[in-house]
Amino acid sequence: MTQPRPDQLDSPIVGRIIKIGSRLNTRLFKLSGGRLGGTWRVGSAFKKPTPVCLLTSTGRKSGEARTVPLLYLRDGDDVVVVASQGGLPKNPAWYYNVTADPAVTIQIGKQTLDYTARTADDTERARLWPLLVDLYADFDNYAAWTDRVIPVVVCSPA
């Protein structure tokens, strides 16, 4: 950890706020075909809105479909997402779901397609991380606030 993590991140309410915000964003996105909730405008994205997709995976414990809104980067035909969870100490649940079952769907705007998710290897992550930080500069802050290596997930068309 190179920077002290803000104390408020350790509050139990932070996780609840993330969940509520994700559910609200997902509903708005689905209802509007991505017109609402299709961009993130918080933190470093305030002046440079960042695109949002909906990633649906299968819950590793429940077996049920789980949908989360995520910032994304296009890399050719691939969609790249980051399991940052705002720099919290643990990876988000969706990351464990896609490592258990890599078959996912991703909705961008009104279009939903099937993908296969995998964690980027070290070389690929080294290439993608600067592009992701250019997309959303706060990813670097998140990485500095946690001891874990934040996973970069590459989703390739199925």
pTM of the model: 0.90
Contact 117, 144 (CB under 8 A): no
pLDDT, position 42? 74
pLDDT, position 18? 80
Query: Which of the following CATH numbers is that of domain 7-157: 3.40.50.150, 2.102.10.10, 2.30.110.10, 3.40.50.2000?
Result: 2.30.110.10
Calculate mean pLDDT across residues 72-91. Answer: 94
Q: List phi, psi (to 5°) of 55.
A: -105, 125
Calculate mean pLDDT across residues 45-53. Answer: 85
Give which of 73, 119, 77, 113 is closest to 94, Cα–Cα: 119
pLDDT, position 1? 46
pLDDT, position 47? 79
